[in-house]
Amino acid sequence: MTTSDCRRIRDLLAQLVSGEIEGEAGREIEAHLLACPACSAEAAGLREALSLLKEEVPPDPGVPYWSSFGGRLRARIAASQRRRRTLRLIAAAAAVLLVASLALLGQRESPASRIAEGPRPSPPPIDAGSPATPAPPVAPHEPRPAPAPSVPARALSVAEAEARLDALLRQAAAEGQDPGELEAILDEVAPAHPLDGADTLGRLSPEEDRSLAEDLLDPQG
């Protein structure tokens, strides 16, 4: 019996004692164990440890526990669905606020507002001898690009966006979210620490791979 034989057999012992080696390979190992007291003792020790382990059964939490298991799970699922709906509402509200803010910025930068502010000071004359960056060539009679279209007058103001946000939050509250939960959800959407909202669990399915944004846009919740 060689050491290399023993090493190879011991690599296979775990499969043997757990019943995953059968047929010719199993017979070869059993033959080796009959001829090698050291490997045989190793296999016996492994089998004994496993047999002790198999006797260990966790305590049964009892009939009342199992009776309530499904109901508690359904309540947990319902709470999770409410939470996801609220997250979508909050994302929609945030989008409304963002659009309104951009609209306000656009209004401030619109040609009409620039005219109202009066002519801007002209830029300093370019010194022909300086190595300044040359201006891009402009054709003498080429029409200037049309100014960006001004924001329609009916775009949301911040006040209107806040009113929409209020309405969305009231809708969320009407669906059963209490203010404390809403705060927790807001914390989750914009955590104090960037990693607070990270999912520490592994990837389990395509759904688990999705980003929060994809989650929020999923109509199935």
Where on the chain is the footprint of another protein (CB under 8 A)?
Answer: 1, 3, 6-7, 10-11, 13-15, 17-18, 20, 36-39, 41-42, 45-46, 48-50, 52-59, 61, 65-66, 69-70, 72-73, 76-77, 80, 200-202, 204-208, 220
Residue-by-residue DSSP string for 20-64:
---HHHHHHHHHHHHH-HHHHHHHHHHHHHHHHHHT--PPP--HH
Residue with the two structure tokens 């979210």? 177
- Cβ distance to another protein smaller for residue 50 or 190: 50
From the CB of 213, what's the least distance to another protein, in Å? 16
Pairwise CA distance, residues 35 & 52, whole Å: 26
Whichever of 134 and 202 has its CB closer to another protein, that residue is 202
Instruction: Report, in Å, the least distance between residue 41 CB and another protein.
Output: 7
Instruction: State in angstroms the smallest separation of the CB of 175 from another protein.
Output: 18
DSSP-H helix ranges across 110-178: 111-117, 158-174
Residues 6+ apart with CB under 8 A from 157: 100, 103, 104
Residue with tokens 């059963």: 176
Closer CB to another protein, 58 or 129, in the complex: 58
Q: Which is nearer to another protein, 10 or 169 (CB)?
A: 10
| CA torsion, ordered 204, 206, 208, 210, to nearest 10 deg | 160
Least separation in angstroms between CB 81 and another protein? 9
In this complex, which beta carbon is closest to another protein, that of residue 69 or of residue 217? 69
